[in-house]
Structure 1
Amino acid sequence: MDIGVPLRELGEFDIEPLKQAILGLDEGVWHGNEYRQETYEVHEQTQSVVLVFTDGSGWPDIEVRKEAGWDMLSEQAVPLMHAILEQYYPPGGTIIRAMAAKLVPGGVIKPHRDSHPSFHYGHRIHIPIVSNPRVRFMLDGRPYRFEVGKVYEINNQKKHSVMNKGDAGRINFIFDYVPPQNIGQGAG
């Protein structure tokens, strides 16, 4: 969604329960759902644990499905997502995507804009879980460093990319929230 600025900091939240759940996952879990990596070239060097997802087919009449990550992370993720939404967004909308996303060491997400119509109507929220000083998130031509423990909304209509030149993976929990006034928008 075009939020009028490249990045909006939403403040500090207690991410510790979600962080511990994510860090406790077996390595193989990260390879269980490779839809994003196979479908979107920019995500080839990422790994995901997906809780809910839509591919956006038939927008605005979409199907949002629970995925395998739901049983692994929803107990910790749902209260955190709801706390963020209650503080900053109108009630009654829908979370259409939610996932833990890892950018492998040395990995790159090439510059892109999120182009599917659902991204024009939904808020894209990033919760940094693990990072390192060598991760750079470029947004609208400027570098940003996301701090663990803070939450951010990005303007996914601006060109953005990520580089992880560190020795460890960068993990963000990402979710897309479509507010009630935007549900069903974009037809025609």
Structure 2
Amino acid sequence: MRNFVKIAEGVDVVPLLVAVARQPHLWNENTLRTKHPGTAHAEVDDILLRFNEIPEGREKRVINDTECVNYPALAALPQARPLIFGLMAKLEGERLGRCMITRLRPGGRIYPHKDMGAPATYYERFHVVLLSAPGCIFQTGEEQVHMRTGEVYWFDNTQEHQVFNNSAEDRVHLIIDIKTSK
């Protein structure tokens, strides 16, 4: 596979998954990714842990997509920190970008798209699978992968990609953007 590389398995994601389940109010506190016209993520729920700063009093748009700040959800979910910073340490990351938890409900879809700007060109994207069941397919070009709970993948998000959740379970991923020395 060229667009996906499994870099870990057997990661203990239960503490974060339980913490998220206990705080359902954290979902969709910020809908920047999911509610704009034409978004590929319209069927996704998000918890933004770390994201670009959105200036107060301005229309909701990102001014600088390289700089990221911690959002209140990161403090509410300290169980995410060992997963995020453990991966940073393992990869000898130089800079931490966006960190978010995404949920795609059964029957949901993330439509074909390519990520643009710094989240795709400056950072590398990693998926920590918090919950996934057979039938959930991540596709880029001709490549398809079912990412299993507890696995971690590097993913080339500059390529057109889409996700189908044809399972009876939610698909929940922790997405982490890390700048490495490559």
Q: TM-score range by the shorter chain?
A: 0.7 to 0.9
Q: 1:23 aligns with which of 13, 21, 24?
A: 21
Q: CA deviation at 1:131?
A: 1.2
Q: CA deviation at 1:56?
A: 5.4
Change (3 A) 1:65 1:86: closer
* Cα distance in 1, alignment partners of residues 119 and 138 from structure 2: 22
| Structure 1 gap segments, 5+ residues each | 183-188
Q: CA deviation at 1:71?
A: 2.1
3-state DSSP of counterpart to 2:153: strand
Partner of 2:33: 36
Alignment of 1:14-163 (within 5 A): 14-26=12-24, 28-39=25-36, 41-54=39-52, 57-58=63-64, 62-73=66-77, 75-87=78-90, 89-91=91-93, 93-163=94-164
* Cα distance in 2, alignment partners of residues 68 and 45 from structure 1: 23
Work out the number of aligned pairs and report it: 172
- Counterpart AA for 2:76: M
The answer to whether the 8 A contact 1:56-1:116 is kept is: no
Query: Does structure 1 residue 9 correspond to structure 2 residue 6?
Result: yes
* Cα distance in 1, alignment partners of residues 121 and 69 from structure 2: 20
* Cα distance in 2, alignment partners of residues 53 and 81 from structure 1: 14
Partner of 2:56: none
3-state DSSP of counterpart to 2:17: helix
The answer to whether the 8 A contact 2:137-2:164 is kept is: yes
TM-score of the superposed pair, with normalisation by structure 1: 0.82
* Cα distance in 2, alignment partners of residues 177 and 33 from structure 1: 22
Q: CA deviation at 1:67?
A: 1.6
- Counterpart AA for 1:57: I
Per-residue CA deviation, residues 87-143 of structure 1 (Å, 9 max, x unaligned), is 2x224x221111110012211111111112331121111011111212111123221
Q: CA deviation at 1:168?
A: 2.8
Q: CA deviation at 1:165?
A: 2.0
Q: CA deviation at 1:46?
A: 0.3
Per-residue CA deviation, residues 53-106 of structure 1 (Å, 9 max, x unaligned), is 0175245xx442222311221x2111112222222x224x22111111001221
* Cα distance in 1, alignment partners of residues 154 and 115 from structure 2: 14
- Counterpart AA for 2:44: T
The answer to whether the 8 A contact 1:51-1:70 is kept is: yes
| Structure 2 gap segments, 5+ residues each | 53-60
Instruction: Compare the two structures and name the one with the higher helix fraction.
Output: 1
The answer to whether the 8 A contact 2:135-2:146 is kept is: no
